[in-house]
Amino acid sequence: MHVWQPEDIQEADEAILGVATKDISANLFLTPIAAVEHWAGRNPQASCLSAEGVELSYEQVLRLTRALAAEFNALGIGVGDRVVLELENGLGVVLSFLALNRLGAAAVIVSPRLSDFERQKIANHALPVAIIRAITLPSCDGLQAALATNVLTALGLGWFDEGLAASPDRDKHPLAEDVAAMIYTTGTTGEPKGVMLTHQNLMFTGFVSGKLRGLGEADRVLTALPLSHAFGLSAVLCSVLTQGASLELLATFSAAQILVRLRDGAITGFLGVPAMYTQLVSTDTQRDQRYPFLRFLFSGGAPLDPTLKKTVEARFGLPLHNGYGLTESGPTIAQTRLYAPLNDTSVGFVIPGVDYQIMGAATSDAGIGELKVRGPNVMAGYYRNQAQTDQVLIDGWLATGDLARTNPSGALEIVGRIKELIIKNGFNVYPPEVEAALLKLPEIIQAAVIGQAVPGNERIIAFVQATGSGLDVEGINQQLRSSLAGYKLLDEIRVLDQLPAAPSGKILKHQLPGLL
């Protein structure tokens, strides 16, 4: 059982944070928009956000979010309301999130890449007042003029509330004012679960992550991580806002585009998932290219392969730092430190202010057990799902469902998952959801889905019993597209005469990797 990191790490962390661990919460901005207000007052012309070819200062972001909040308020948005943001990375999702934050409303950020079926399930569960979608490209020239007219239109966004305003269940399920965002995770049941992240969750993760990366007002962080995931929302966007830095936000990942930007002296840090780094090093064929202005590279969202880590470090001349967390933990639990880079692929030390236990480690020969954490980063719970909340939040401790141990240096190693989660390209894929979609197809009798680790990523493999043997992955994926997002589609399908099963009929998934 462990509840903290080594004393020398704690002392070094506190020196970097500038406050004692026990005083972190007292030194946080109350909300993300409060951080914007602070920096707009201190350094109004400093760059805050760059996206879609537009650069906005902290003062401009503040003025636009004030105007947008007034528009939302006129449309009836108030404290505790949910608004679904079906938006890619861009000006719209950031400004809408901050405007809702100002009103005490919660942003339900959803990737528009999900299928219509998946997005509808989330909307049905979140009981939103409205859904905001992109309908045109933003009018860059019209943003400042829109301060007196319509910011929503200038951002190219549409407001859709048909069939939502009169929802009879909305008043039965109010949301506390301190919930700033809901991020949906499907979970092992295949049903969407709305993770309620509070202002404190976002500000704590943003403050600690930003400080440990050494972020300051002179830094410009580049990312293509979607803000519909906690990694992008709190560990990137909010870390930038808490430190008065600048964020360059890309809607989609392009290795070639990223490499061009990393050669620009303005970019001092990049954050991505391992699959992004795999593409970066395979695309960067100019072996003599240098990146002298880069200060840090961070990876998260999926296990980091040792070979990939070494390749990236050799190519960029910088340590590739690693981290770990869950949506439910806001998300950061542990990360490696800039002042103490590690040669292994552990996830580093637990961040200051977060306690942890490894249950059952004392009775395990390898010191492995289930990781549980508690701290200001842990979610308020799952929206409208007290039963699921009670299963993972017990006496203030969050059961992660992951198996972990600490190595001799005290760094945390994630060695497996109790649940069968697959992480592909940094996105969570839950086998029961894919299996359920497969079983809806007339040619599929039984299905079992597993992940196969490849350098920096995981593949999705389905083992099926079918009515015929002529199945091909392209044909099956074409049918699955109507109910599954693209990143949940299969990489491979194997047809078996019969899936391995126990006498009870339960499929023995642990035997399937041996069939590959």
Task: Spell out the domain ranges in the chain.
Answer: 7-406, 422-515
pLDDT score of 504 more than 70: no
pLDDT digits (tens, 9 = 90+) for 83-114: 999 999 999 999 999 999 999 999 999 999 88
Q: Are 94 and 237 in contact (CB under 8 A)?
A: yes
CA atoms within 13 A on the CB side of 150: 10
Q: Does domain 7-406 have CATH number 3.40.50.12780?
A: yes
At residue 227's C-alpha, the angle toward residues 222 and 233, to 5°, is 85
The average pLDDT across 208-223 equals 97
Contact yes or no for 464/438 (Cβ under 8 A): yes
Contacts of 64 (CB under 8 A, 6+ apart): 56, 95, 143, 146, 147, 151
For 340-384, the pLDDT digits (tens) are 999 999 999 999 999 999 987 666 667 888 999 999 999 999 999
Q: In the predicted model, what is the mean pLDDT of the chain?
A: 90
Residues 6+ apart with CB under 8 A from 201: 180, 234, 330, 376, 377, 378, 379, 380
Question: Which residues is 348 bridged to in the sheet?
Answer: none
Q: How far is it, in rounded angstroms, from Cα 284 to Cα 267?
A: 17
Instruction: Name the helix (H) or strand (E) containing 399.
Output: strand 397-406
Which tokens sit at 95?
């400004």
User: At a CB cut-off of 8 Å and minimum separation 6, what does 7 contact?
Assistant: none
Q: What is the pLDDT of residue 369?
A: 85
Q: What is the pLDDT of residue 475?
A: 92
The pLDDT tens digits of the residues spanning 216-256 come to: 999 999 999 999 999 999 999 999 999 999 999 999 999 99
Rounded distance between C-alpha atoms, residue 236 and residue 238, angstroms: 6
pLDDT at 1: 44
DSSP lists the bridge partners of residue 247 as: 49, 221
Tell me the mean pLDDT in the region 325-330: 95
In whole angstroms, give the CA distance from residue 237 to residue 94: 9
The CB density around residue 79, as the number of other CB atoms within 10 Å, is 12
CATH 3.30.230.10, domain 422-515, yes or no: no
Give 232's DSSP letter: I
Q: Identify the band that residue 409 occupies on the pLDDT scale cut at 50, 70 and 90.
A: confident
Structure tokens at 10: 């704690």
Strands (E), 9-58: 47-51, 54-57
| pLDDT for residue 304 | 85
List, as one string, the DSSP characters of 72-86.
Answer: HHHTT--TT-EEEEE
pLDDT tens digits for 121-152?
Answer: 999 999 999 999 999 888 767 676 766 678 99
Question: Tens of pLDDT along 448-465?
Answer: 999 998 988 999 999 999
Average pLDDT, integer, range 9-28? 95
Confidence of residue 170 (pLDDT cuts 50, 70, 90): confident
Torsion angle, alpha carbons of 414, 416, 419, 420, to 10: 120
